[in-house]
Amino acid sequence: MILLVFAGLFAGGIALAFDGLTAPARHPAALPSRRTWVSSAEDSLHHAGLEGVSVRSFVMTSIVSGLVAAIAAQVVLGWPAVSVAAAALGTLAPLSYFGPREWQRQVGARTPAAYDRLLAARVSGQTPVPRC
């Protein structure tokens, strides 16, 4: 059964490779202009508040943190599969830390105004939520 699944995956890969190699070439002018992944990553870093950080240094930091996590897991546990998983999680750690920062900054900017409105309503005797 597993052999059949692998044969199907191999056949699908061959079909995709054949289609990619024999399809007519599209003219670059006919395609809509797309941003490169580097400019998209620079925008993401800028929105996360990391204006002075280049994409290359962020990727290198992610790789180094993955290697540190993998080495630590290998030294502590000695299991290669866990070390591979620790490397993957360690590589994603900087992204998961800096990714939500834009949302946190937006919420943080709106939070004091919301607290001020709630406090003003409470002082004036109003309840913030209407009673049913």
Rounded CA separation 94/65 (Å)? 8
Query: Minimum mean pLDDT among 19-28, 35-44, 81-90: which range?
Result: 19-28
- Listed residue (53, 83, 81, 79) closest to 68, CA to CA: 83
Residue 16 has pLDDT above 90, yes or no: no
96 vs 11: which has the higher pLDDT:
11
Residue 30 has pLDDT above 60, yes or no: no
Please state the pTM of the whole predicted model: 0.53
105 vs 28: which has the higher pLDDT:
105
Rounded CA separation 27/16 (Å)? 21
Residue 75 has pLDDT above 60, yes or no: yes
